[in-house]
Amino acid sequence: MCGIFGLITKRNDIPVATIIREGLQRLEYRGYDSAGIALVNNGKIELRKEAGRIDDINKNGLFDSMQGTFGVGHTRWATHGAPVAKNSHPHMDGNGKVAVVHNGIIENFQQLRKELSDRGHVFTSDTDSEVFPHLISEFLDQGKDLKEAVMETIKRCEGAYGIVVCHADTPDYMIVARKESPLTIGITPGETTYCASDIPAFLPLTKTAYILEDDEIAVLYAGEVEIFDVLTGKKRERSPTEVPWSIDAAAKVMNGREYKWFMHKELHEVPRTLKEQVNAPLEDIDAFARAIMEADHVYITAAGTSYYASLAGKFQINKFCGTFIEAILCSEFIDQLPTLPHKTCVIAVSQSGETADTIEAIRYAKEKYGATICSLVNVVGSSITRYSDHIIITTAGPEVAVASQKTYCAQVTALTVVALRIAELRCDMDMKEIAKYKEALQKTADIIESILNNEDKIQEIARIFAKEQNIFFLGRGLSLSAACEGALKIKEISYNHAEAYSAGEAKHGPIALVEYGFSVVFVGPPDETYDRLIGNVMEMKSRGGKILAVVADFDTKITELADYTLRVPIENSKYAIAMSAVPFAFPLQLMAYFAADYNEFDPDKPRNLAKSVTVK
């Protein structure tokens, strides 16, 4: 949560303020309730910050007209203090010399604030972050240089931080540091150095990057970087890495086509993502599979969309491997599991790799009970990977739209690949059968391609449901995952109230709401749940429900009962049907996108949400 972008350069022919503003806009998916920039100019810091989105704040060039040779900006998702100008970052010390941006939460800020206030510091915001410039300024007054002052400061701060510090009197460098909040560094050697919360923010400028680790501090000179261990103060030698992502990841363009929204573009990336995911490195899959097989107890944990992908993954691992895996929301993990048994394996699923609740769950499992941690994440080098024994990286590439969609498809596919690998390793299933399931999984990319080629049909249906006040999403077995994902997506980006239930559970209460015209979406692949689902469709139909069903394109029975259908072009074989999780969820993701667009909402930045949720 919160986006940071800074730069320091030797070039005097580039518009520093505009480049920082554009970098922040590429990070707005991390937070967008206020923004600010601080630039160092001739021994002074110029600071501008306001509530609102960057485009609105900069309408009359408020940011772009700033003058300065280097500096840093911030786009905020409020935690401590309302989203108003005074709480926006950067924050300054009392002398107006030190400017700091911060992403994360300082847990002992009240105590630090009290101590500093008692010593005469005057605070101008309600944030935890403001303690940074005041503490740094105290250490500078004691004669320390800027790097030492920042090191001393972060030793006093408990909690999570990614920070960038600029000082009016040190025109040659700025300082960055991190602990449990992301911070990456981009570089054009010998010329310009950037820092940002996420790599895509500087991708259009450079693909050469350093990933800062926890408890590291870096001195950023123009085109040069020095990294130090905060605890020992020792310098760490590190070479930069080349980021394999395309520059298009930061733009709404793919294969020459310009999309209106990132979400639409990213949904169109799903076929590519799936093709790559089924061919992910076998050694990573193997390590995952063996860790699950060796454990006596296996939990899969995640939040939101990643949790719904985990429901499908759990189903596939249980089905193909006869193992029992329990899915548990990461925010409930510690409360529901006050002790963990011996030989536990925890699978953590996360797009960002930074979700605070997921990190807390796996740290608890690992540090307290010695659990083996297998993580499935989309961001290389993210915090979750640091607490993991085995890692699979999903092949979705950068996902800019706040609501996850292509990563859901990648996560479900990766977990299905793991399930089939366990089945192979256990040798209790016919290898030819497994090969046919794998072939069916390979073909899901083509199914998605074909759905995308006919997306007009989904757009029409989306318009019919876009204004609904309430929608139920129902599915059974494997399809509960798709129902949950469909409901979450339309709720968060199109603001329709939607609830997902097991179709069998709906008669135990939710059905009380159903009357003439009440919208009910069924996820109805022709699997072992199909006949029972027909009964559930009839229950809703007979009470006047307006039924939309996602069905196979050879379907007849549910089609006869439904008012509308979304037809999925899958083969009528048990292998293809067993791989229905992604093909039957995808039309609902696309429908949510079209509903948001029809309702004229911004699907990329839904209100109150941020891409990585780094608070508990």
- Would you say 391 or 403 has its CB closer to ligand F6R? 403
Catalytic position from the list 2, 166, 409, 484: 2
What interhelical angle do 406-426 and 282-294 show, nearest 10?
70
Q: What distance in Å separates the CA atoms of residue 333 and residue 300, rounded to the nearest whole number?
A: 10
Nearer to ligand F6R, 58 or 375 (CB): 375
Nearer to ligand F6R, 254 or 615 (CB): 615
Query: Min. distance of Cβ 411 from ligand F6R in angstroms?
Result: 8
How is 559-590 classified by DSSP, letter by letter?
HHH-SEEEEE---SSHHHHHT-HHHHHHHHHH
Q: Shortest approach of ligand F6R to residue 301 CB, angstroms?
A: 10
Interatomic CA distance for residues 412 and 469, integer angstroms: 29
Preceding omega of 90 cis (within 30 degrees of 0): yes
Report, in Å, the least distance between residue 347 CB and ligand F6R. 13
Taking CB atoms, the residue at the shortest distance from ligand F6R is: 304
Site residues (vs ligand F6R, CB under 6 A): 303-306, 350-352, 355, 358, 403-404, 488, 492, 612-613
> 349 in helix, strand or coil?
strand
Q: d(Cα 32, Cα 599) in Å, to the nearest integer? A: 20
Number of H helices, E strands in the chain: 22, 27
Read off the tokens for 401.
Answer: 């739209």
Nearer Cβ to ligand F6R (444/612)? 612
Q: Please name which of 224, 177, 226 lies closest in space to residue 10, comparing C-alpha atoms.
A: 224
Q: What is the DSSP secondary-structure string of 270-293?
A: HHHHHHHHHTS-HHHHHHHHHHHH
Q: Which helix (H) or strand (E) holds 314?
A: helix 304-321
Cβ(488)–Cβ(305) below 8 Å: yes
Q: How far is the CB of 403 from ligand F6R (least distance, A)?
A: 4
Smallest gap from residue 610 Cβ to ligand F6R (A):
8
Instruction: Lay out the sheet containing 297-302: strands in order across.
Output: 325-329, 297-302, 344-350, 372-377, 390-393
The CA angle 335-503-607, to the nearest 5 degrees, is 60
CB of 32 to ligand F6R, least distance (A): 15
User: Beta strands 192-196 and 91-92: pairing type?
Assistant: unpaired
CB 310 within 8 A of CB 349: yes
User: Is there a contact between 127 and 141 (Cβ–Cβ < 8 Å)?
Assistant: no
Q: Which is nearer to ligand F6R, 92 or 105 (CB)?
A: 105
Closest CB to ligand F6R among residues 519, 612: 612
The distance of closest approach from Cβ of residue 78 to ligand F6R in the complex, given in angstroms and rounded to an integer, is: 17
User: Which residue, 188 or 496, is less far from ligand F6R as judged by CB?
Assistant: 496
Q: In this complex, which beta carbon is closest to ligand F6R, that of residue 71 or of residue 304? A: 304
Q: Which CB, 136 or 396, lies closer to ligand F6R?
A: 396
Neighbours of 499 (CB within 10 A): 16
Is 330 catalytic? The answer is: no
Q: Is 608 left (phi over 0), alpha (psi -120 to 50) or beta?
A: left
Catalytic entry in 314, 438, 443, 611: 611
Q: Assign 3-state DSSP to the chain and report helix, strand, coil percentages, each to 5.
A: 40, 25, 35
Instruction: Give the nearest distance from C-beta 258 to ligand F6R in angstroms.
Output: 24
The answer to whether the CB of 503 falls within 8 A of the CB of 522 is yes
Residue 101 pairs in a beta bridge with 164
Minimum gap (Å) between residue 345 Cβ and ligand F6R: 19
Which residues are CB-contacts of 361 (< 8 A; sequence separation ≥ 6)? Answer: 301, 330, 333, 334, 346, 348
Q: Give the residue with the Cβ less far from ligand F6R, 350 or 529.
A: 350
Residue closest to 273 by CA, chosen among 243, 312, 245, 314? 245
**Taking the complex as a whole, how short is the minimal distance between the CB of residue 267 and ligand F6R, in angstroms?**
12
260 carries an active-site annotation: no
Q: Which residues are marked as active site? A: 2, 611
